[in-house]
Structure 1
C-alpha cells in the first residue's frame, strides 16, 4: 500500500493544479482529483505556490481550513465510491447527493462522517469503523 507523506500530498495537488491550468495531460489519479480542485477556487492561490504550500502549517487553533486535507478527503470519498468500499457507500453518497441536490455538498457531509470515524478511531485506538461511517452517511441521506 502506498502511504504518501504530507509533503507528497501537497506536491500532488500542486502538480495537479499546475498541469490542469497548463492544459497538460493528467495521470489517472490527477483526473480524479482535478474536478475537486476546480470546485475549490478559494484554494488556487495556495496550490499555485508549491514552495509556500510545503512550508505552511495548518493548525486547528488557527481556524484555517487545510486545503490539502479537504481535497484529500474529496479524493478519498471519490475512491471509496468508485470501488464501493465500504460496501454501500456509493449508494449512500448518491442518495445524499440527490437529497441535497449536489454531489459536492454530499461529499462535504460524507467528509464530516469520515472525520468523525477517524477521530473515534484515533481516540479509542481501535481500527476505523467502516460500518459506523456508512451508517452516519446513510443517516444524513435520510434526514
Structure 2
C-alpha cells in the first residue's frame, strides 16, 4: 500500500503544477492531478510556492487545507476508475445528472468521503464504504 508522508503529497502537487505549467511530460497520475488543479485556481498560489510544504492550514482559523482537498479529489478519481467502494460510480453518475456539473458532483462526493472518514476516525472503526455510497446516493436524490 502506498502511504506517502505529508511532505511527499505536497511535493507531488507542487511538482505536478510546475511540470504542467512548463509543459513537461506528465505521468498519468500527474495528468489527473493537473486537471484537478486547473479546476481550483484559488490554490494556484499555494502550489506555486515551495514554502507551502511547511505551512499549516488550521480549520479553526477557517482555512481549508488545499493539499487535503486536492488529495481527496485524487482519491475520488481513483475510486471512480475502479468502482470502489462498489456502487460509487453509479452514485456519482446520478450526482452528476442531478447537479449538472461534474465538479459539483465531485464536491458532493468529497463531503460524503470526509464525513465517512471523520466518523470512522471518531469511532475507531474501519471506513464504511457502504455508508459513503449511501450518502452520495442521497445527495443525488436516489432512493435507498
> What TM-score results when the alignment is normalised by the length of structure 2?
0.96
Superposed displacement of residue 106, structure 1 = 0.5
Residue in 1 that maps onto 2:108: 109
Name the residue aligned to 2:28.
Answer: 28
Q: Which has the higher helix share?
A: 1
Aligned mates of 2:105, 2:34 — CA distance in 1: 18
Structure 2: 5+ residue stretches without partners: none
Which residue of structure 2 aligns with residue 139 of structure 1? 138
SS at match of 1:3: coil
CA deviations over 1:69-101 (Å, ceiling 9, x no partner): 111111010000000001110111111011101
Q: Give the match for residue 2 of structure 1.
A: 2
**Number of the residue aligned with 1:88:** 87
* Separation (CA, whole Å) in 1 of partners of 2:93 and 2:65: 26
After superposition, the CA RMSD in angstroms is 0.9
Aligned position for 1:12: 12
Deviation >3 Å, runs of 4+: none
Aligned residues: 142
Segments of 5+ residues of structure 1 without an aligned counterpart are none
Distance 2:36 2:99 in 1: 18
Structure 2: how far apart are the matches of 1:55 and 1:73?
19
| Offset, 1:32 | 1.4
Alignment partners' CA distance in 2, 1:77 and 1:131: 15
Deviation at 1:62, TM superposition (A): 1.0
After superposition, where does 1:54-69 map in structure 2 within 5 Å? 54-69=53-68
Aligned to 1:121: 120
